[in-house]
Amino acid sequence: MRKNHHTHTPRCGHAVGEEWEYVQAAIEAGYDALGFSDHTPWPGSIFPSTRMGLEELPGYIEAVKNIKKQYGDKLEISCGLECEYYPKHMTWLKERIEEYSLDYIILGNHFDYIDESEFYFGRCRTKNDIILYLKTAIAAMETGVYDWLAHPDLYLSEYYKFDDTCVKAAREICYASNNLGVPLEYNLLGLMSIKEGRFPGLGYPYYKFWEIAAEENCSVIMSVDAHSPEHIKNTAIYDEGIDNIKKFGLKRLVFTKEGLVEAD
């Protein structure tokens, strides 16, 4: 059975489809587990096309609870958030995890430590940009708050050459992932985007990154990163992702009620 725990909702301002549409799509596509993990709000965040507003968070939690009541007998529904690493807001985040009994937190290392007005890591153009991405990712993984690292190769989106800095970043992220027990996510939205030619640079998932991940014995969780129910319905890309992970010789994990366990 298929599983996906990286699903957005329109609250983030760049996804479409109501919760029930994602759930229906998942049931039709043969999923037995679907987790919502919309982009977290942060205190003071003001960018409505990146994430929900702070005042929308209770409604998001409530909506996932309701959909669970409605469809919980058909598939396992869970509730998490995709979060950056902003040291100054970690207390706030830990309080929300507790308040809402969130099932998991995905590290979406999109932005530098201040807020989304800062530099987007999908636009790394220089070696220094990549080093900043690397440092932020590792510092975040070291907190123990995050269950896995989304699209660890995000830094290749607009970077043209897999040079020494890219290798260093890959090597150190993979080493930290293994060492700290924070698995890496193989991102299917990226795989779809590569096929559609939507990355100006190497894009992700990039095979040289995953060859290093295999050398470092990393564990991988595969996610759709659904921003539309159509992404859930794309079972061809799902199957291709599973195949790719096998070809790299990577160990695949899935998220369950018991946490991350090895896939069958």
- Angle (nearest 5°) at CA 131 between 80 and 189: 40
CB of 173 to Zn ion, least distance (A): 18
Candidates 65-73, 79-87, 154-162, 175-183: pick the segment binding Zn ion (CB under 5 A).
79-87
CB of 120 to Zn ion, least distance (A): 12
Residue appearing with tokens 């969130």: 102
Nearest to 165 by CA among 121, 210, 129: 129
CB of 151 to Zn ion, least distance (A): 8
Q: How many residues bind Zn ion (CB under 5 A)?
A: 2
CB of 215 to Zn ion, least distance (A): 27
Amino acid at position 216, single letter = E
Asked if the peptide bond before residue 205 counts as cis, ω within 30 degrees of 0, the response is yes
User: Residue 36 or 100: which CB sits closer to Zn ion?
Assistant: 36
User: Residue 19 or 225: which CB sits closer to Zn ion?
Assistant: 225
CB of 164 to Zn ion, least distance (A): 29
User: Residue 82 or 112: which CB sits closer to Zn ion?
Assistant: 82
- Angle (nearest 5°) at CA 244 between 243 and 249: 95
In order of 37, 69, 151, 157, 204, the CA distances from 79 in angstroms are: 6, 13, 19, 28, 26
CB of 163 to Zn ion, least distance (A): 27
Nearest to 234 by CA among 242, 226, 246: 226
DSSP bridge partners of 35: 78
216 binds Zn ion (CB under 5 A): no
| Cα 95 from Cα 83, distance rounded (Å) | 14
User: Residue 115 or 225: which CB sits closer to Zn ion?
Assistant: 225
Ramachandran bin of 189, using left for φ above 0, alpha for ψ from -120 to 50, beta for the remaining angles: alpha
From 103, 115, 147, 225, residue interacting with Zn ion (rule: CB under 5 A): 225
Candidates 18-26, 58-66, 159-167, 218-226: pick the segment binding Zn ion (CB under 5 A).
218-226
Subset of 12-71 contacting Zn ion (CB under 5 A): none
Q: Which residues contribute to the site for Zn ion (CB under 5 A)?
A: 82, 225
